[in-house]
Amino acid sequence: MVVKLFVGSLLIVLAGCNASKNPLRKEVKLLQKGVIKDDTSYVYALPYEEGKTFRVIQGYFSPFTHKERAALDFNMKRGTKVLAAREGVVVRVKEDGTRGGLKSKYRSHGNNIVIQHPDGSRAGYWHLQHNGALVNVGDSVKKGQTIALSGKTGYAMVPHLHFLVWTSKNGNWQQIATRFQTSKGIKYLKGWKKYQNKTIN
């Protein structure tokens, strides 16, 4: 418990600083500030139920475990319904992992689902509960469909959902920041903020 509190406060302290030299990091900052105006990128749904609010405990390129990752960690207790942020075909399911924690030996236990979108990009949903996948490889899933139950398997300090999107650019897979529909409009999410999944008509 003491360790948890310590690491938790460390995260808060580090949330504002960034160590990554990845050029995408700068682009993400500009996108978050709305400086890049002609943004025609896809608008993702938050990967949880309508009306629910969760906090992003690690944003893009944060220095804890996302140093070189354009990934988001949503703080959620085990067994929370995880919804597809975008439609596609399930290309990977792992749900046999049972262990989780901050030890590298737990990395291989990280249960996950990968969905390929119509434009060829892919989204990953990580740290799912043991036997927590509700879809199979080859299934077509709709945006907003419940695909899994969250957990804490793999390399994870607390139960959460690690979400990331990557796309092929010139033959190389590259992680990208994505924007989401939130109760306060379309946003690039930031670390330590809470976001409610609410459709605005």
Q: Note the residues at the interface with Zn ion (CB under 5 A).
A: 71, 73, 162
Residue with the shortest CB distance to Zn ion: 162
- Beta-bridge partner residues of 87: none
Give 151's strand partners.
Answer: 160
Min CB(152)–Zn ion separation in Å: 12
Give strand pairing partners of 93.
113
Q: How far is the CB of 189 from Zn ion (least distance, A)?
A: 13
Q: Could you tell me the smallest distance in angstroms from the CB atom of residue 181 to Zn ion?
A: 21
Nearest to 58 by CA among 71, 68, 49, 46: 71
CB of 199 to Zn ion, least distance (A): 26
Give the residue with the Cβ less far from Zn ion, 192 or 198.
192
Q: Cα(36)–Cα(31) distance, rounded to whole angstroms?
A: 6
Written as six digits, the tokens of 114 are: 């990968």
Min dist. Cβ of residue 201 to Zn ion (A): 32
- For the chain, what is the largest distance between any 2 Cα atoms, rounded to a whole number of angstroms? 46
Q: Which is nearer to Zn ion, 14 or 89 (CB)?
A: 14
Select 35 or 102, whichever has its Cβ closest to Zn ion: 102
Sign of the CA dihedral 58, 62, 66, 68? positive
In the complex with Zn ion, the residue whose CB is nearer, 73 or 95, is: 73
Q: What are phi and psi of 119, to 5 degrees?
A: -90, 10
What is the Cα–Cα distance from 176 to 171, expressed in whole angstroms? 15
